[in-house]
Structure 1
Amino acid sequence: MSEVKAGAEPESTAHDTVEAAVRAQLNKALGGVRGMAEAAVPTIAFTGTYVAVKDVKTAVAAGVGAAVLLLIVRLVQRSSPQFVLNSLIGIAIAAFFALRSGKAENAFLPGIMLNAGYAAAMIFSIVVRWPVVGFIIGSVTGDPTAWRADPGIVRLCSRLTWLLVLPCVVRVAVQYPIYLADGDQSGLLGPAKIVMGWPLQVAALAAMVWLLARGRTPIKREEPA
């Protein structure tokens, strides 16, 4: 694969290869282990509480309370609350669906729909040869489209994007049939969401790291005039 050319180098990057840049940006986007754990804790609180007391309002309060507590910890530590806020917004939307219908399993419908939307968007980006991972390279080089000049890099980004698609497809394929089944399925959907949340994302990230470790594609940045 040839070198990726770009304009002035952003101050925030010091990566010399496409693979190193993608690894760093993916870790940043997912928030690392802590960010992924923060996304899982409110769901665990909601599911565990509902299984214990069988009351939607109490379960929602537990999930929202867990998210708020995580947010307070972030604020006290003066660290970025981005991932906790994402979690809080997610649990708030889930709470709206559950409380409006009175059915705990409806709390999991927004997540199923979101994963379906992500999967569809990423697959479309691959089909039209604008895989979303390519824009990670663009954010590093300073040119959002220069990476498309190299077919090898486009192929690499397509493979990486497929690895991001897979967790979304698996979640929908498993959770949606459970949601459609008769009766209260929250006892199954909760554990399924937890198991297919950050553990599945970590597995996908590990596969991406393995794929990236095999290449050393240099990033060439033009010197500013």
Structure 2
Amino acid sequence: MSTRLEKNERTTRSVVDQMGGPLGLTYSVVPVIVFVLANTFMSLTPTIALSITAGVGLFVVRLVRGERIASAVGSLVSVAVAIGIVMWTGSARDFFVVGIWASLAGFVLTAGSLLARRPVSGVIWNAVHGGRNNWRAHPGDLRAHDISTAFAALVFGARFVIQQWLYVQSNTGGLGIARLAMGTPLTILAALLVVWAFRRSTTSMRATTSPASDDRRPERTLP
């Protein structure tokens, strides 16, 4: 049992790592900075060329540093998709359109899970811990996952509302500032809340599966 718990704790600690780690989150803002600055002083064509160069350069740097290939490729693909949309529409503001609608999707998912009384952070925690834990029966655990998921929903919702308004106003510079201000800092805060909720549930699981506990076998429940 101790081996399983140690594995679960390692899984909990890797939440930020799965998003590329703190440095990976920092890398994610570089293409945005390059695009916004270039678009301020250049026409659209050189802005696109410089952004592509920055994206490829960042991809190479991440590979040289030995980061996960999936993280490096994911970053490059996201830049490529954004640039592709800009080339197709001819509008600089469309560099941000994927992120805007991704925020709406994230809000619908997280807010919907709260309404269904199955906060998504708790569902994920239960899935990576075997799917056999009656976590919703513990008010403290459920509340922790409610808080972490509600914060994520707030972040997603705020990103969509503010950036969609700036998009309608064709304010590319404002979109860049909003993307930076509401990107990495809020993502890290949300991740920390998720880690806190994960650890709380893991601690509860340890208590209910310890030799001193009468309830050694967690009840199977739906996520």
User: Do both proteins adopt the same fold according to a TM-score greater than 0.5, normalized to the shorter chain?
Assistant: yes
Aligned residues: 208
Task: After TM superposition, give the deviation of residue 174 of structure 1 in Å.
Answer: 1.2
2:173 to 157, 181, 187: 187
Counterpart amino acid of residue 187 in structure 1: G
Under a length normalisation based on structure 1, what TM-score does the superposition of the two structures give? 0.78
Contact residue 95 and residue 107 of structure 1 kept, 8 A: yes
Counterpart amino acid of residue 36 in structure 1: L
Unmatched 5+ residue regions in structure 2? 210-215, 218-223
Identity within the alignment, %: 27
| Alignment match, 2:117 | 129
Q: Distance in 2 between matches of 1:147 and 1:93?
A: 39
Task: After TM superposition, give the deviation of residue 208 of structure 1 in Å.
Answer: 5.5
Task: After TM superposition, give the deviation of residue 140 of structure 1 in Å.
Answer: 4.3
Q: Distance in 1 between matches of 2:49 and 2:30?
A: 13
Q: Distance in 1 between matches of 2:84 and 2:66?
A: 30
| Alignment match, 2:184 | 198
Contact residue 126 and residue 158 of structure 1 kept, 8 A: yes
Counterpart secondary structure, 2:7: coil
Counterpart secondary structure, 1:73: helix
Counterpart amino acid of residue 176 in structure 2: G
Task: After TM superposition, give the deviation of residue 63 of structure 1 in Å.
Answer: 2.3
Pairs within 5 Å for 1:111-130:
111-130=99-118
Counterpart amino acid of residue 151 in structure 2: L
Task: After TM superposition, give the deviation of residue 152 of structure 1 in Å.
Answer: 3.1
Task: After TM superposition, give the deviation of residue 146 of structure 1 in Å.
Answer: 3.8
Counterpart amino acid of residue 109 in structure 2: A
Q: Distance in 1 between matches of 2:133 and 2:86?
A: 42
Unmatched 5+ residue regions in structure 1? 1-5
Q: Distance in 1 between matches of 2:52 and 2:132?
A: 37
Contact residue 59 and residue 75 of structure 2 kept, 8 A: no
Counterpart amino acid of residue 197 in structure 1: G
Change (3 A) 1:41 1:194: same
Task: After TM superposition, give the deviation of residue 210 of structure 1 in Å.
Answer: 7.1
2:46 to 58, 66, 72: 58
Contact residue 141 and residue 219 of structure 1 kept, 8 A: no
Counterpart amino acid of residue 157 in structure 2: V
Under a length normalisation based on structure 2, what TM-score does the superposition of the two structures give? 0.78
Task: After TM superposition, give the deviation of residue 40 of structure 1 in Å.
Answer: 0.8
Structure number with the bigger relative contact order (C-alpha 8 A, sep ≥ 6) is 1
